[in-house]
Amino acid sequence: MQKDKKQLLLDAALKLFVEYGFHGTPTSLIAKEAGVANGTLFHYFKTKDELIVALYVDIKNRMAAYVFENAKGQATFKETVKEQYLASLFWAQDNQLQYRFAEQFKNSPYLSQIAPDEIEASVKPFHDMLRMGIKEGVIKSQPVELLFTIISSHAYGINQYFMSTNFSKAKQHQVISDSFEMLWAMLT
């Protein structure tokens, strides 16, 4: 039983988009790489843009699911934040293509095709959590949007660092763990 063709198309598109960019990748090449006919792409996605947006939404959902799955049921606030931070970076580590695609997408004009309230909804759980931390007096009283952005971009930076080095997985885990303690010091 092989993967269904929709998934094959998404996999092929991901790989090619990261390598050649959105418009540097013709739909014909995506179909070829996926091993399906040209028209099949348009059977599953009305337009190329729809494929690009669908791919982004799919990746975002998978990452969010992974982070929440791995960070649930922590005893303290700090442990919750830490596990979410670690899970994000571990996910990025194991899904470099997805991560790079997401960054490319976020910095492109395609981002405007995602409804603002959809973006809003995806960050809400994190904002709520941070609000709780402030209420409990564990972290600094600052706008949660600012705190969340700082945490996210800190993780982004660590990931960039890994992309330019050649650390073993164990070494990377070490750096991630250390970097969280630096980050935490900044938040409290």
- Binding residues (CB under 7 A) for DNA: these are 4-6, 23, 25-28, 36-40, 42-44, 46-49
From the list DNA, a second copy, none, partner contacted by residue 150 (C-beta under 5 to 8 A by kind): a second copy
CA 129 remoteness from chain centre: 19
CA-CA distance, 4 to 159, in Å (whole number)? 32
- Applying CB under 8 A, which of residues 2, 141, 164, 166 lies at the interface with a second copy? 164
Q: For DNA, which is the closer residue by CB, 80 or 108?
A: 108
Site string for a second copy, 22-41 (x = CB under 8 A): xxx-----------------
Q: Is 68 in the site for a second copy (CB under 8 A)?
A: no
From the list a second copy, DNA, none, partner contacted by residue 26 (C-beta under 5 to 8 A by kind): DNA
CA-CA distance, 88 to 64, in Å (whole number)? 8
- Applying CB under 8 A, which of residues 7, 61, 74, 149 lies at the interface with a second copy? 149
Query: Which of helix, strand or coil describes residue 168?
Result: coil
Contact at 8 Å (CB) between 102 and 53?
no
Contacts 24+ apart (CB under 8 A), 87-91: 88/63, 88/155, 89/155, 89/158, 89/159, 89/176, 90/173, 90/176, 91/63, 91/66, 91/67
From the list a second copy, DNA, none, partner contacted by residue 37 (C-beta under 5 to 8 A by kind): DNA
Output the six-digit token pair for 122: 């995806």
Size of the site for a second copy (CB under 8 A): 36
Q: For DNA, which is the closer residue by CB, 38 or 188?
A: 38
